Structure formats: C-alpha cells, structure tokens
Chains A and B, each alone.
Chain A
Amino acid sequence: EVQLLESGGGLVQPGGSLRLSCAASGFTFSSYAMSWVRQAPGKGLEWVSAIRNSGSNTYDADSVKGRFTISRDNSKSTLYLQMDSLRAEDTAVYYCAKCQSGTSCYGGLDYWGQGILVTVSS
C-alpha cells in the first residue's frame, strides 16, 4: 500500500523558514517523480513544485520560484520542501503527491498524503 506522510509544518513568522518532509513507502520511491501541492484556507489546489526521480531536475511554480526548494533523498525514500522568505500568502495545507511517471508529473498525480498545515503569521 502506498503511503505518504508529511511532517514539519507549523507556525512561522513572515520572512522565516520551514522544511517539510514526506516519508514515502509502498512503492519504489527512486522510480517516480514527486510533487508538492498546496491549498490555502477556503481556496483551490495549487501546484507548487516537482522533482524528477533522480533529483536531477526540479520544477517550480512562479509563485514560489527562488524561495522554495524541492529535493529528495532516495536512500531514505523522503521528499523535502525547503521554504524560505515565507509570506502570509504561503499559509496553506501542503500535500505531498506521487507522480505517474519518473521524469516529471506530465501524467498526473496518483497518490496523495494527508497534508500538513503551514501558517505564516506574526
């Protein structure tokens, strides 16, 4: 059974940093691209970042480019999202998701974590 478990969320002040982790199990982690998706309170889903199976390529939405960094450790089957220079508008539930393919998420997402809340507020 595929499982994705996010951790590392919480309350952070504007301008601060936070690192999210996503522990994956039930599939060969190193074979698939992975992604982060977020959802602000009462709003729709927003694609944030994706990373190739090898970690050699990363892709970011314009809204987080230069502030967020996606990475992975295939030896630990874990996905990360380093979030710097956080803003109030980054407040959201962040979901870790598995991509259908290995190179990018062109085929869509097939499994999702339960999500973790990040609140940016003073």
Chain B
Amino acid sequence: QTVVTQEPSFSVSPGGTVTLTCGLSSGSVSTGYYPSWYQQTPGQAPRTVIYSTNTRSSGVPDRFSGSILGNKAALTITGAQADDESDYYCVLYMGSGISVFGGGTKLTVL
C-alpha cells in the first residue's frame, strides 16, 4: 500500500521562507498525481491552498506557491506570517478515482 509522506512538523520565522514536501513511500511524485494542498487550523474546516500542482485557490495570497521539487510535490510559503501557522495536508490522486492524504505537517511560525 502506497503511503503519502509529509514532514510531521516544521518551523519558520516570521518573514521567512519554508518549503513543505509531499512524497511517496515508493516512487516519485509527478504532475500526474495532481498534488493539492490544504490548510487547517484547529477546530476549523480545511481550506484549499493549491490544486493541480501549482494553481492557487481563490483568495489565497501569492506568497503560497506549489511545485514539483525533485521527486516530491512542494508547498512554499515566502514571507511567512503568523496566521500561516496551521496544519498543512497534501493529497495525491492515485488514479481510478482514488485520492490519498498525507499525514499532515504542523507548521509553527515563531
């Protein structure tokens, strides 16, 4: 069974840049997996940040960007702000209608 991997936690200073990644336990992530990214703060519903690798969802600031870096999908936050402190989840499309979430990354801004 393929597992989608994410860093459990990450820390960034205010104004700094951070890159979160999304990989596979076996194989490389490509655009064909249509990676997407979701932000969630405690007690709230998820919010879509990036879909189809690098398309920002409506209303998402341009400091968020998505890409493929090496063999993983990546979410980069440039100029991190305090309210970016959240859990971030990636999703990969495995084909045949099946999607799989990664375990999530808890991002701390301090």
Contacts and interface: CB of A to CB of B under 8 A. Distances in A.
Interface residues of A, number: 26
B99 interface: yes
Interface string B28-57: 000000101010100001111001100001
Contacts of A44: 87, 89, 101-104
Interface stretch (B10-18, B19-27, B74-82, B90-98): B90-98
A20 to B, nearest CB: 15
Given A45-B104, A47-B101, A59-B98, A112 B57 contact: no
Given A44-B89, A47-B91, A110-B51, A104 B97 contact: yes
A111 B101 contact: no
A30 to B, nearest CB: 18
A37 B87 CA distance: 16
Nearest to A106: B93
B69 interface: no
A37 B97 CA distance: 14
Interface in A49-103: 50, 52, 57-59, 61, 95, 100
Contacts of A35: 99
A114 interface: yes
Interface string B55-85: 0011000000000000000000000000000
24 contacts: A37-B46, A37-B101, A44-B101, A44-B104, A45-B38, A45-B46, A46-B101, A47-B91, A47-B99, A47-B100, A50-B99, A57-B97, A59-B96, A61-B98, A104-B93, A107-B52, A109-B36, A109-B48, A109-B51, A110-B58, A111-B48, A112-B47, A114-B45, A115-B45
